A and B are shown apart, each in its own frame.
Chain A
Amino acid sequence: DGGITQSPKYLFRKEGQNVTLSCEQNLNHDAMYWYRQDPGQGLRLIYYSQIVNDFQKGDIAEGYSVSREKKESFPLTVTSAQKNPTAFYLCASSILAGVLSSSYNEQFFGPGTRLTVL
């Protein structure tokens, strides 16, 4: 079955530790995204990547880092610099049509990882 997997589902971290959230997709999508979800605030974009070895900061990138060494994988590291990391993290992917085409950006989401800092 094609889809997006995120692991682990629940993650606990002590303050001051870095932690990496996994996101894998087998949809052959070019673009991948990371969002953070907090109660009452909807989803906010952390980072996105349109192709391998390239990624762009979103609206709330401070305290996070990403890599895109393979098309199917887009791990997110929550560093100790992130002041309030407790949240639900969602990964998504989409087909990336050509720049000149009138494309739309339907995103497919993984099940999410709930990170709690103790």
Chain B
Amino acid sequence: AQSVTQLDSQVPVFEEAPVELRCNYSSSVSVYLFWYVQYPNQGLQLLLKYLSGSTLVESINGFEAEFNKSQTSFHLRKPSVHISDTAEYFCAVNEKGRRALTFGSGTRLQVQP
């Protein structure tokens, strides 16, 4: 069965500093991987996804994530964060052939001035 682990429940960071949000998954088959972002009292928005091909994927607002099959990881990074990046971030996995996503428990990114 697929599962996702986000080791950090909260990550405080100063504005313009780099950040990494960690995500590890477990699955016996090939997977698709996703990062979603949730702002307070809102639904989830897709940030980026890995389907196939290049293991490094990027979003339009400067985030990137790298799929590492040997380490079963899909960590999210940004070289310089802004106050507006403050939100909760969810990693999710979808095993090929399954309909449902499995989400991690989320990481709250708190960007401080």
Nearest residue (CB) in A for B34 is A106
Chain A 101-116 residues near chain B, CB threshold 8 A: 102, 104-112, 114
Q: How many residues of B contact A (CB 8 A)?
A: 26
A residues less than 8 Å from B49 (CB atoms): 104, 106
A residues less than 8 Å from B98 (CB atoms): 105
Q: How many residues of A contact B (CB 8 A)?
A: 29
Instruction: Tell whether, in the assembled complex, residue B99 and residue A42 are in contact, meaning their CB atoms are under 8 Å apart.
Output: no
CB distance from B93 to the nearest CB of A (A): 10
25 A-B contacts (beta carbon < 8 Å): A31-B99, A40-B105, A41-B105, A42-B6, A42-B90, A42-B103, A43-B44, A43-B103, A45-B100, A45-B101, A48-B99, A96-B99, A102-B96, A104-B32, A104-B49, A105-B98, A105-B99, A106-B49, A107-B101, A109-B36, A109-B43, A109-B45, A111-B43, A112-B42, A114-B41
Tell me the B residues contacting A by CB distance below 8 Å: 4, 6, 9, 32, 34, 36, 41-46, 49, 51, 90, 94, 96-101, 103-106
